[in-house]
């Protein structure tokens, strides 16, 4: 592990130069990796593992769109594609990548399929940390490990194909075999992580639930809508409001932040923009701090977990979700966004 100074705090990280793909293949030699669930994280991890030469099978409920997607991606029913329980029985590393609500529903059946010495793998600490709500208590005779890519499964796959990776956290919750850490790092490298940083199941789920409800998704969506609506209220056209709210952010400014940090983004903008951003950033920070305090408390108390399990376990969850997503898609702001994206040069020339 490399010792890296992160703003004055030294942490240990693992890169693919230190823990090579060849070493990962040696660690996982003779292992069958069963990816349970082919929805969000499953496809990216399964395809990257397969492309890197690992023995991977997929477990998915037969007859649905995810089963059909796995078939379209080259997984063969009866050979590399099975129902969830059969895949769990065949796997020695069992990647439990169903949705959080799906994990709750399927856990008793999956648990019964685990064999002594297997590795039970998660990409989210949700089920294990909030076991009082999920009843997910792993048996004592298996390794319990985690690799959590810091991005969507779709991004994990596209970055892999582009020759880069997404950073991931890793954790060992239970080391039955004495090989749990090596198995964890091997899987992390095998799925194409940019680098791996150490965490715990508890810290992963607390930070992840906060991040996706906060800056990464919920806060971002809410703040963008507020600014767009403000500009429209004051007579700005949809195109102007959208460009000043979303298009410039995604097509220019956030790329500068990604390249070299927030100060570089400020430095690369006009003096007027710099002054305004530096003056107003503390006001926004102060305004949202109480909301983030409320959010973090809801996460660590288990309130957010209860909400997810209750809503996502409903039989009509997907239908209701689609209604909510369509409401966003069909709003003026995001209809404008579709029109703006169509005008990008790369899209006009198709």
Looking at residue 8, its pLDDT comes to 83
Q: Write out the residue limits of the CATH 3.40.50.720 domain(s) in the chain.
A: 2-199
Residue 272's CB is within 10 A of a number of other CB atoms, namely 8
Per-residue pLDDT tens over the stretch 323-336: 999 999 999 999 99
Mean pLDDT of the chain: 94
**Confidence band (pLDDT; 50, 70, 90) for 348?**
confident
**The model's pTM:** 0.90
Phi, psi torsion values for 347, nearest 5 degrees: -90, -35
**Confidence band (pLDDT; 50, 70, 90) for 151?**
confident
Give the number of C-alpha atoms closer than 13 A to the C-alpha of residue 229, restricted to the C-beta side.
Answer: 7
Residue from 124, 206, 234, 236 carrying the catalytic annotation:
124
In percent, the amount of the chain with pLDDT more than 70 equals: 99
Looking at residue 350, its pLDDT comes to 66
Per-residue pLDDT tens over the stretch 104-118: 999 999 999 999 999
Choose among 154, 145, 162: nearest CA to 31: 145
Per-residue pLDDT tens over the stretch 29-71: 999 999 999 988 999 999 999 999 999 999 999 988 999 999 9
Q: Write out the residue limits of the CATH 1.10.1040.10 domain(s) in the chain.
A: 211-348
Q: Does the domain spanning 2-199 belong to CATH 3.40.50.1100?
A: no
CATH number, span 211-348 = 1.10.1040.10
pLDDT at 86 over 90: yes
User: Which value, in Å, is the radius of gyration of the alpha carbons in the chain?
Assistant: 22
DSSP of 98-127, one letter per residue?
S-HHHHHHHHHHHHHH--TT-EEEES-SHH
Per-residue pLDDT tens over the stretch 183-233: 999 999 999 998 999 999 999 999 999 999 999 999 999 999 999 999 999
- 124 counts as catalytic: yes
pLDDT at 346 over 90: no
């Amino acid at each position: 592990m490399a010792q890296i100074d992160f703003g004055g705090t030294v942490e240990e990280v693992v890169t693919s130069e230190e823990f090579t793909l060849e070493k990962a293949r040696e660690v996982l030699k003779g292992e069958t990796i069963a990816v349970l669930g082919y929805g969000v994280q499953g496809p990216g991890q399964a395809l990257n593992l397969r492309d890197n030469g690992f023995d991977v099978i997929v477990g998915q409920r037969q007859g649905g769109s995810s089963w059909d997607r796995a078939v379209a991606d080259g997984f063969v029913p009866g050979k590399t594609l099975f129902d969830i329980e059969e895949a769990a029985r065949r796997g020695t590393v069992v990647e439990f990548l169903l949705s959080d609500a799906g994990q709750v529903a399927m856990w008793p059946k999956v648990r019964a399929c685990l064999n002594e010495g297997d590795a039970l793998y998660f990409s989210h600490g949700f089920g294990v940390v909030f076991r009082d709500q999920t009843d997910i208590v792993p048996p004592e005779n298996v390794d319990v490990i985690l690799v959590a890519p810091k991005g969507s499964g779709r991004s994990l796959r596209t970055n892999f194909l582009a020759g880069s990776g997404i950073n991931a956290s890793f954790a060992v919750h239970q080391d039955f075999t004495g090989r749990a850490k090596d198995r964890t790092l091997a899987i992390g490298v095998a799925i194409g992580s940019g680098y791996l940083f150490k965490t715990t199941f508890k810290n992963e789920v607390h930070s992840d639930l906060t991040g996706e409800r906060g800056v990464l998704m919920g806060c971002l969506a809410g703040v963008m809508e507020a600014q767009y609506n403000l500009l429209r209220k004051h007579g700005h056209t949809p195109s102007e409001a959208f460009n000043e709210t979303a298009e410039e952010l995604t097509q220019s400014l956030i790329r500068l932040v990604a390249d070299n940090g927030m100060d570089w983004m400020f430095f690369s903008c006009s003096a007027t923009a710099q002054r305004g951003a530096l003056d107003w950033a503390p006001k926004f920070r102060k305004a949202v701090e109480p909301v983030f305090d409320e959010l973090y408390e809801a996460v660590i108390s288990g309130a957010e977990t209860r909400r997810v399990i209750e809503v996502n376990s409903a039989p009509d969850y997907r239908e209701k979700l689609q209604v909510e997503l369509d409401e966003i898609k069909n709003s003026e702001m995001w209809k404008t966004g579709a029109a703006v994206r169509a005008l990008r040069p790369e899209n006009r020339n198709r």
